């Protein structure tokens, strides 16, 4: 099967700094792929390159012909001078029928907020409106950049559950970048660990056990990996917020 999008030896430089070095990435239909990596590892640059906003210093980016992308940015800095209703935002850049707007809002798990101002939404509602807009593009590939950065763990877990539902309903592939390692990895088919180059990739379990991954995210530090393994290796009886979030994610 031909991939939706593929990079071959992608290299990106900012000035003399090499941000991405010889990155091979391939995303097929219907899979959920997560990119993890420390700060400054080039995650956001890679996403921007896939969207076409970064000039590659080497390698190439191949898109399936007619590929439709849905993009959920990390945040939208909405200037207070710009009045914008949810319905108008969802109709950008292409006008959509109001029936489709309501369907997309429903798919994103929002009650009727179509006539509200974007600036009046809560953080969680705002992210879901961004998701609804991406769904309206009828994407083959949904790209999310730290989409849950402003949400608490419960909210993040609910958001990822919503994305799995969207994937199930539309059959689109999903590419995510996230810091919420233990939540986001459990929702993924495949994890790519990035640190300028691809350190390792595979199923969440394989990546979590990989030495390079442990070297990046620490093991004795009780960091995200510890939580992640903790949750998967065995289950505690007492109800911590982490296990609640994890159960919500499953």
Residue placing its CB nearer to another protein in the complex, 39 or 77:
77
CB within 8 Å of 147: residues ≥ 6 apart: 72, 73, 74, 127, 130, 131, 159, 176, 178
**Cα torsion 190, 196, 197, 199: sign:** negative
CB of 154 to another protein, least distance (A): 26
Count of C-beta atoms within a 10 Å radius of residue 78: 15
**Is position 88 an interface residue for another protein (rule: CB under 8 A)?**
yes
Closest CA to 99 of 85, 87, 116: 87
**Is position 78 an interface residue for another protein (rule: CB under 8 A)?**
yes
Residue placing its CB nearer to another protein in the complex, 47 or 185:
47
Query: Applying CB under 8 A, what is the total number of residues that bind another protein?
Result: 29
Binding test (CB under 8 A) with another protein, winner from 30, 137, 189, 209:
137
Residue placing its CB nearer to another protein in the complex, 51 or 64:
51
Q: How far apart are CA 134 and CA 140, in angstroms?
A: 11
CB within 8 Å of 139: residues ≥ 6 apart: 68, 69, 70, 170, 172
Residue placing its CB nearer to another protein in the complex, 6 or 145:
145
For helices 98-107 and 123-136, give the axis angle rounded to 10 degrees: 120
CB of 157 to another protein, least distance (A): 25
Binding test (CB under 8 A) with another protein, winner from 59, 100, 109, 117:
117
Residue placing its CB nearer to another protein in the complex, 85 or 243:
85
Pattern 37-76, another protein, x by CB under 8 A: ----------xx--xxx---------------xxx-x--x
| Phi, then psi, of 64 in degrees rounded to 5 | -60, 145
Where are the alpha helices (H) located in 93-199, listed in sequence order? 98-107, 123-136, 153-170, 181-186
From the list 32-40, 90-98, 156-164, 189-197, the region that binds another protein by CB under 8 A is 90-98
| Radius of gyration of the chain measured on its C-alpha atoms | 18
What would the two tokens of residue 136 be?
Answer: 């309206």
Residue placing its CB nearer to another protein in the complex, 63 or 161:
63
**Is position 93 an interface residue for another protein (rule: CB under 8 A)?**
yes
Q: How far apart are CA 103 and CA 54, in angstroms?
A: 33
Q: How far apart are CA 86 and CA 89, in angstroms?
A: 5
**Is position 92 an interface residue for another protein (rule: CB under 8 A)?**
yes
Residue placing its CB nearer to another protein in the complex, 177 or 207:
177
Binding test (CB under 8 A) with another protein, winner from 1, 55, 82, 220:
82
Residues making contact with another protein (CB under 8 A): 47-48, 51-53, 69-71, 73, 76-79, 81-85, 88-89, 92-95, 117, 134, 137, 143, 145
């Amino acid at each position: 099967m031909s991939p939706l999008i593929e990079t071959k030896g992608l290299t990106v430089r900012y000035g003399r700094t090499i941000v991405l070095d010889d990155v091979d990435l391939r995303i097929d239909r219907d899979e959920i792929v997560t990119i993890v990596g420390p700060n400054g590892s080039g995650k956001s640059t890679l996403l921007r390159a896939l969207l076409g906003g970064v000039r590659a210093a080497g390698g190439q980016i191949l898109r399936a012909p007619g590929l439709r992308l849905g993009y959920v940015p990390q945040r939208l800095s909405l200037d207070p001078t710009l009045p914008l209703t949810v319905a108008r935002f969802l109709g950008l850049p292409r006008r959509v029928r109001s029936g489709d707007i309501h369907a997309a809002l429903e798919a994103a798990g929002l009650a009727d907020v179509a006539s509200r101002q974007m600036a009046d939404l809560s953080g969680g509602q705002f992210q879901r409106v961004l998701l609804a807009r991406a769904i309206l593009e009828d994407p083959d590939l949904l790209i999310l950049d730290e989409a849950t950065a402003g949400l608490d763990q419960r909210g993040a877990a609910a958001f990822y559950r919503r994305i799995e539902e969207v994937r199930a309903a539309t059959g689109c592939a999903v590419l995510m970048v996230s810091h919420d390692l233990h939540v986001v990895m459990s929702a993924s088919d495949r994890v790519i660990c990035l640190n300028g180059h691809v350190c390792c990739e595979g199923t969440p379990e394989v990546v979590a056990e990989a030495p390079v991954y442990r070297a990046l995210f620490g093991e004795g530090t009780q960091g995200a990996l510890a939580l992640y393994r903790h949750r998967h290796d065995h289950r505690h009886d007492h109800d911590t917020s982490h296990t609640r979030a994890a159960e919500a994610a499953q």
